[in-house]
A and B are shown apart, each in its own frame.
Chain A
Amino acid sequence: MRMLKQFRSKIREINQRYGKPKIEMSKGVKFSLAVLRIYLFVLVLLMIYKFITVL
């Protein structure tokens, strides 16, 4: 239980430490990250579809 609490506080600390992205959010960076999000979203949808059809 203590270990779990320590782990949770560690995760919280990491999230706070890296809360704000340090790279300059230029249009190119924003565009790349948006495309990446869409790409991963489509990929996850495909995997879920495959999982459902296999079941």
Chain B
Amino acid sequence: MDFFSVLYYRFKKVWKAVRLYLVIAGPGLVVMIADNDAGGITTYAATGAQYGYHLIWFLILLLPVAYYVQEMTVRLGAVTKRGHAEAIFESFGAFWGWFSLLDLMIVDWLTLVTEFVGMTAALSIFGVPAWLTVILVILLMGIIVLNGRYWTWEKIVLGFCLLNLIYVPAAFMVNPSLSDIASNGLIPNLPGGLTNDLFFLLMANIGTTIAPWMLFFQQSSVVDKGLQEKDIKMGKVDTFVGAVITVAVAIFIVIVTGTLLKGVPIDDAAIAAKMLMKTNHYIGAFMAIGLFDAGLLGAICISLASSWAFGEIFGWAHSLNTKVKETPWFYISYFITLVTAGVVPLIPGAPLVLITLFVQVVAVTLLPAALVFLILLLNDKKTMGEYTNTLFQNIVTTIIVVAIIILSTMYGISGLFPNLFK
């Protein structure tokens, strides 16, 4: 074969792989990008504002953490064709099943409230009243799920994922010093030593990287999309690409706030957006749009994670490929979760700080259990066959899971007893 024939053959091979990836891509990208939800954006904005570029290396470390945990759900979903809730019920019995389902319901609802808080705060910067934001979001999310096809739902959501990249031009617009990013951010360091504030922020970053709903969402999404065992390889690529994007977006947010708001105490991304507007109107607007989009993506995934889990256990049809008439309870549970959570930020004097604290605390009761179940299920040779965890995967995931459990527990307990680690 001549040179051009070889080149053409290789191009066709690569193009075929890319086309296959585009067909399989979805669950991993969506779950990872939605991981940067309203709470996540606040955490990254605070990280940049408090410590500049100094913690970028830590965010990079979170990439394999997110990837190794989430890729297990791809294998489990593709092999068992069951969501995470159903897998727990079937493998560990009704006690652990109910515990996980009820805990998931509470955590998801509370997190959904925080997403609505983020979205209403973001659009209030543009003068949109909170009630209008809530109505528009519920309508939009209704239209997205009621189209009756998983494929359409996924493509619309991927469009919103693309909007999450709005932080990339924002980071370029602040003209950061590349040498500062390289020297301060890429070499592991703990600015000012391991103080309580720094430790709390590191724990918050881990807490926002792996959330319980992500495990349930991605596994159910893999099942609803109909991924087979042969698709696992591309499903893993999808998850890895998603993990790279989510960490990259987090870094770009840190660069924005680390450049323009360094030293300013931030505990709310909407306040950061308002402050940024005073420096540069466009960057502030980008921050606010990104916050709204992050809240919307989080809300889309979290409400579906709950509905999928309910459908799996109660035996309702639970697919986005079904019409409302065929599976009314699936959609009713979706809208009940959505509307009740959306109303909370509109209640005058609603205990929003307490709700945020509750999310932090209740999540630590579910996350360790869900992660332990995940590893045990991936070691069940009878079910997983050739896709059982290898020794290497077990070592890596066990180290990650133990570290997450310890740190997220400390994060949760610090919410209950704020002075305990001081």
Contacts and interface: CB of A to CB of B under 8 A. Distances in A.
A20 B93 contact: yes
Nearest to A50: B416
A15 B93 CA distance: 8
Contacts of B97: 18
Interface string B152-193: 000000000000000000000000000000000000000000
A15 B369 contact: no
A39 B368 contact: yes
A14 B377 contact: no
Interface string A17-33: 01111111000110011
Given A10-B314, A18-B97, A29-B376, A23 B368 contact: no
A20 B382 CA distance: 16
B416 A18 contact: no
Contacts of A14: 89, 94, 313-314
Interface in A1-46: 10, 14-15, 18-24, 28-29, 32-33, 36, 39-40, 43-44, 46
Contacts of A39: 368, 409
Contacts of B376: 23, 28-29, 32
Main secondary structure of the interface of A (DSSP, over half): helix
Interface in B358-383: 361, 364-365, 368-369, 372, 376-377, 379-380, 382
Contacts of B412: 43
Contacts of A33: 92, 96
Contacts of B372: 32, 36
A9 B272 CA distance: 51
B91 A21 contact: yes
Nearest to B379: A28
Nearest to B375: A32
B417 A18 contact: no
Q: How large is the interface on A (under 10, 10 to 19, 20 to 34, 35 or more residues)?
A: 20 to 34
Interface string B383-422: 0000000000000000000000000010011001100000
A50 B360 CA distance: 15
* B: interface residue count bin: 20 to 34
B365 A40 contact: yes
Given A36-B372, A40-B365, A23 B91 contact: yes
Q: Report which residue of A22, A46, A50 has the largest number of chain B beta carbons within 10 angstroms of its beta carbon.
A: A22
Given A40-B365, A43-B364, A23 B417 contact: no
B90 to A, nearest CB: 5
Contacts of B413: 46
A16 to B, nearest CB: 9
B369 A21 contact: no
A20 B99 CA distance: 16
A21 B364 contact: no
B89 A18 contact: yes
Interface of A: 10, 14-15, 18-24, 28-29, 32-33, 36, 39-40, 43-44, 46-47, 50
Given A14-B94, A40-B365, 7 more contacts: A14-B89, A14-B314, A18-B90, A22-B90, A22-B91, A43-B365, A50-B417
Interface of B: 89-94, 96-97, 99, 313-314, 361, 364-365, 368-369, 372, 376-377, 379-380, 382, 409, 412-413, 416-417
21 contacts: A10-B314, A14-B313, A18-B94, A18-B97, A19-B93, A20-B93, A21-B93, A22-B90, A23-B91, A23-B92, A23-B376, A23-B377, A24-B380, A33-B92, A36-B369, A39-B368, A40-B99, A43-B364, A43-B412, A47-B416, A50-B416
A-B pairs, 5 with minimum CB distance: A21-B93, A23-B91, A18-B89, A18-B94, A15-B94
